[in-house]
Amino acid sequence: MQNWRELFHHTKIIPVVVIDDADNALPLAEAILKGGIDVIEITFRTEASSESIRRIRKHLPEMLVGAGTLVTKRHIEQAIDADVQFGLAPGLNPATIETFRQANTLFIPGVMTASEIEQAYALGCDLVKFFPAEQAGGVSMLKALSAPYAHLDMHFCPTGGIDLNGMNNYLALPSVAAVGGSWLASQQDVAAGNWSAITHNIRQALARIQQ
């Protein structure tokens, strides 16, 4: 699998998006790029997901495109066929990890317990998604949960309930590689074509990180 450090070497925030209409995919990606972020996670929660990935991969090669919420075999196959560059899931499924390994594509499984972290590590994953981050105990929980695995160089991408005011608390942890955020490009803003608001949210988040 591709080394996540090569893919996310300068990215601290991953916009997590839901796209209802594939025609919104390119303007959405352009709005995110304009804001200063070159990565996007398109969740497989609508029928427009795979086509949205295809369009961005074809027309905006500078954008790093991931597929999220990969919990069914059909969606996993669609994501890989669409030439996605990384995949994520809310949980840990060894079969999904193996499918992405065979495709030589990065996969980030979801974890919420120590046992799941150990299983992910045993399966070759040193970057995992801590989900749902806020509901599972937030920063204090992740700090305690990650401590026993620091010597293994395990890293986390907390996602779920994180917002502008809380993201830096996660990013301050040495074990956190990046955070996932749905507030950057809400489903409502995407559906309404409110691209300027999305660009503003991206710039605001990047400025907050610099502070």
18-41 pLDDT, tens digit per residue, is: 999 999 999 999 999 999 999 999
Task: Answer yes or no: 41 catalytic.
Answer: yes
Query: Which pLDDT tens digit goes with each residue over 147-172?
Result: 999 999 999 999 999 999 999 999 99
Q: With 90 as the cut, is the pLDDT of residue 86 above it?
A: yes
Q: Which of 39, 16, 13, 32 is nearest to 166 (CA)?
A: 13
Task: Answer yes or no: 12 catalytic.
Answer: no
Q: Could you tell me the sign of the dihedral formed by the alpha carbons of 51, 53, 56, 59, in that order?
A: negative
Question: Is residue 18 classed as helix, strand or coil in its secondary structure?
Answer: coil
2 falls in which pLDDT band (50, 70, 90)? low
Torsion of CA 88, 204, 28, 181, to 10 degrees: 20
Percent of the chain past pLDDT 70, that is, above it, reads 99
Q: Read off the pLDDT of each residue in 168-186 and give the average, rounded to a whole number.
A: 97
Residue in 30, 58, 116, 129 annotated catalytic: 129
Nearest-angstrom CA–CA distance, 12 and 37: 9
Query: Which pLDDT tens digit goes with each residue over 188-203?
Result: 999 999 999 999 999 9
Question: Is residue 134 classed as helix, strand or coil in its secondary structure?
Answer: coil
pLDDT higher at 4 or 176: 176
Residue in 30, 41, 47, 58 annotated catalytic: 41
